[in-house]
Structure 1
Amino acid sequence: MLLLLVRDNLGIGGVAREVDLYQYWYGKFAEGTFPPGDVTWQYPPGAGLVIMSPGVLPWLTYFQAFVALTVLADAVVTLALAHADSARLTHGALIWVLGLPLLLHLPFARYDVQTTALAVLALLALGTRATATRRLGGALAGIGAMVKVWPALALIGTPRGRTTREAWTAAAVTALALLATLALFFSDALGFLRQQGSRGIQIESLWGTALAAARASGIWPGRIEFRYGAYEYVGPYVSSLGHLALLLTVIAFGWLLLWRLQARRWTDATPFDAALAAVLLFTVTSRVISPQYMIWLLGLAAVCMTSRATVMRPVALLLLPAAALSSLAYPVLYDDVVTGTTTGLAVMVLRNALLLAAALLAARRLWTSTTGGPPDA
């Protein structure tokens, strides 16, 4: 993975250019502000901490320091999963160690490994019996939510009662404290909300694949434009599809709340399984599916596999070929994806079909494994 990153000439190349953007933002943070008016800045304020973190290694270039810290985060995830596996003869670390390289060198040129590390550590901490450790898990999820929002979903499956109160309270307090601190020291901390609200249908999303198929069939006359740091579809019905995507995301959230109300049985794996199901549902209904989203899903699948009680084994297995296809889509065949060739469309249809199947299967298995039978004492 590191060798591919150094060469960075596979497919369209330029995977490491994202780190150059991080370095530009780093300069803005040094001036005491979040990137003002930058349409590519679409992240919660906690992401600034990760972008600034290479500054702790001043003897390296920004690129070298960022990659070194990402590899360190990868090692932390691997060791945490291996420790969770050690007493149970499970395969969480194996899913991570074998799954991440399927994404080639992209994980080391994005800050999603660090974000996934927060979610993985949060979930593993929530699975312990110690009150202080559960609160730490909630705090890590709160920090993760301030870095990239989705780690908040790590708390969706905490058992009702004391565990939920401890974890959710710790998450809320930590997130608010971090937000207040960053707002105190940096201006425009909430500027990312303006950019997020303007996003359209990205070409790699399920909605984008539907539009690509319609365009290839000649029944939709839209086009592709580079906007907000990604290729998006522009044309008739795009706005309506965007609203439909948001509606389905709201429905997915409502389904998760209904599941919490209806769930009667909790196992040690239920918080892990619920987190994976939730992130999958939010991924497939989103207007945007960037290739680095697969890092999140592989990390959560790996956590599920640390428990023998998990019901997500077939879901985890579906995510492995989905990750490999994601690498074909970007960077290997990205020109084909953008231009909408038969090859590019086929890769996206297969990848997104796997993600949709994984999401539906995860939701079904979560529901059936927890809503039947007598309630836990």
Structure 2
Amino acid sequence: MRIARRQPVVPWYAATRVLLLLLALNVLPYFNRGAVTGDVSTYHGWLAGSFDHGRYPLDDPKWQYPPGAAAPLELPHLLPGSYYVLFFLMCLVADVAVFGMLLRAAQRADTERATQPGPPGQPSQAGPWLWTLGVAAIGPMAYGRYDLVVTAFAVAALTVTLRSKRSTAIARGVLIGVGTFLKLWPAAFLFGAPKRRNGRLLAGVAAAAAVLPTLALELFFPGVLSFLTNQKSRGIQLESVFASPFLVGKWFGWSHEMQNTKYGAYEYLGTGVGVAGKAALAATVVGFGVLLLIRRRAAVRGGFPFPAMFADVGFAAVLVAVVTSRVLSPQYLVWLLGVAAVCLTRRETLMRTPAWLVLGAVSVTQLIFPLFYHSLRYGQVYSGMILFGRNAVLVVAAVLALRALWRATGPDASAAMFSGGLLGESRGDGVRLAQDEGAPLDREVGGRGPQDGPERVVDGVGSPGRSGADRLVEGD
């Protein structure tokens, strides 16, 4: 791509991904092989013990995924060669796809901006840079989970652009639905769906793409819907935000039971954990309630003020889901990075500060897990302060994201709009923004009518036994 040749982020991206792949394949030594291959070993065990026999591993408490998760787990198994090597290569392909979509989105956003008054500028590199640095900070663990595949669908949903608003809404709905079918979190994007018929179309298509195959699989494999309830008995995972009271309390002699549970994570158990779990659920309800109220405030004013808010609202929703969850594994940060990077491809985003805060939080990932994880479990202060600081930054990012959306949809929206870098002209009820006329869904988002308008097409986007290659990447 022409844009790729012009951007200095490309060689940095290529260098970091070559390094990550070499670390994942054990060509270069990584200080904790189990952190890279642990989940892949679990996936491989499910294949040999369940999927190869035509059933889901529903008797394993570690299976906590929607039934669509079987597709990316099975794909490397269908090709000849080492399952481990092919799994890492699949994740690399998803990583490259995300990077390419971010470059395209940045180029398209600045091309649209060139039609507005003022200097056109250069394509924004902020989104591709955040993705490049963030995934590198997570390390080879990012290639040892299937979350990169889900994130590729999520980023495609946020960046796809077709000839009309209707076709764009359908494409986005399909991609959101498929992402939800693989792992639930892309459903959070529906908080930012445009109003009127294109928004209803997007939501309806997304629901159909996620629900219909799930129900069909439930008919053939009874029990696959158990993922909706099988986490209710979990404790509070060590890395989650709501584990912070137990973490800090241990510094002052407040002992609490912790164990590696049947779910495959170290969790706090015992007194107070039930209360913390209820508090986490309440925080989720409050956070999503605020997002619904923001959506209502936008609807009263005719819709979200500008097209970039589809990604902005989606990012805020995923942030709320992550910081209020009882579990916060390293792969959750991949979700945040992907959506944050999409936000930064548009210069008018309101999520600039929260997005960079997320990158700052991600930068200490490998210090928390796996480097200092042992000391965290035993309550060491220095490692606990790193985790506490990381979680505090994520909470601040979530609060700032909700605050920015609240200001942007209220009667005094001018300050938020100008801080997002948009031009506006005053009118009686606040600010009218300069719209990106070329962006599909713009009039639906801005509340200016449902009619469609044409625009240019933009490209969006072996056996159960362990082979020698498997042993290469598994060995500690």
Q: Which structure has the higher relative contact order (CA within 8 Å, separation 6+)?
A: 2
Of 14, 22, 38, the residue aligned with 1:3 is 22
1:288 aligns with 2:324: no
Letter of the structure 2 residue corresponding to residue 42 of structure 1:
Q
| Number of the residue aligned with 2:57 | 35
Q: Flag the 1:126–1:138 CA change in 2: closer, same or farther, 3 A.
A: farther
Of 221, 226, 240, the residue aligned with 1:191 is 226
CA distance in 2, matches of 1:11, 1:334: 13
Aligned residues: 375
Of 84, 87, 107, the residue aligned with 1:86 is 107
Of 376, 385, 393, the residue aligned with 1:346 is 385
CA distance in 2, matches of 1:242, 1:252: 15
| Number of the residue aligned with 2:178 | 143
- Structure 1 runs (4+) deviating above 2 angstroms are 6-13, 125-130, 180-188, 191-195, 370-377
Root-mean-square deviation (CA, aligned residues, Å) is: 1.8
Letter of the structure 2 residue corresponding to residue 139 of structure 1:
V
| Number of the residue aligned with 2:72 | 50
Q: Flag the 1:298–1:127 CA change in 2: closer, same or farther, 3 A.
A: farther
TM-score (norm 2): 0.76
SS in 1 for 2:58: coil
CA distance in 2, matches of 1:213, 1:128: 54
2:165 and 2:198 in contact (8 A); partners too? no
Of 335, 338, 361, the residue aligned with 2:400 is 361
1:20 aligns with 2:41: yes
Q: Cα deviation per residue 1:185-219 (whole Å; 9 max; x = unaligned)?
A: 4342123234222221000001112211012212x
CA distance in 1, matches of 2:283, 2:223: 30
Q: Cα deviation per residue 1:226-278 (whole Å; 9 max; x = unaligned)?
A: 11110000121111110111111111111111111012342121010001111
Say which is worse superposed, 103-112 or 335-344, in terms of deviation: 335-344
Q: Cα deviation per residue 1:66-112 (whole Å; 9 max; x = unaligned)?
A: 11111111111111111111232113222112221010111100011
Letter of the structure 1 residue corresponding to residue 260 of structure 2:
F
| Number of the residue aligned with 2:134 | 99
Q: Flag the 1:69–1:338 CA change in 2: closer, same or farther, 3 A.
A: same
Report the Cα offset of residue 319 of structure 1.
1.3
Letter of the structure 2 residue corresponding to residue 32 of structure 1:
G
| Number of the residue aligned with 1:244 | 279
CA distance in 1, matches of 2:409, 2:22: 45
Letter of the structure 1 residue corresponding to residue 92 of structure 2:
V
SS in 1 for 2:25: helix
| Number of the residue aligned with 1:226 | 260
Report the Cα offset of residue 126 of structure 1.
6.7
CA distance in 2, matches of 1:331, 1:37: 28
Say which is worse superposed, 65-74 or 261-270, in terms of deviation: 261-270
1:123 and 1:271 in contact (8 A); partners too? yes
TM-score (norm 1): 0.95
2:76 and 2:83 in contact (8 A); partners too? yes
| Number of the residue aligned with 2:317 | 278
Q: Flag the 1:131–1:258 CA change in 2: closer, same or farther, 3 A.
A: same
1:253 aligns with 2:319: no
1:76 and 1:117 in contact (8 A); partners too? yes
Letter of the structure 2 residue corresponding to residue 22 of structure 1:
Y
Of 85, 91, 95, the residue aligned with 1:64 is 85
Bigger CA radius of gyration: 2
Say which is worse superposed, 319-328 or 7-16, in terms of deviation: 7-16
What is the percentage of aligned positions where both structures have the same residue? 38
1:172 aligns with 2:172: no
Q: Cα deviation per residue 1:154-190 (whole Å; 9 max; x = unaligned)?
A: 2211221122111101101111222133224434212
1:304 aligns with 2:343: yes
Of 189, 200, 205, the residue aligned with 1:154 is 189
CA distance in 1, matches of 2:339, 2:178: 17
Q: Flag the 1:124–1:168 CA change in 2: closer, same or farther, 3 A.
A: same
CA distance in 1, matches of 2:78, 2:53: 17
Report the Cα offset of residue 344 of structure 1.
1.4
SS in 2 for 1:37: coil
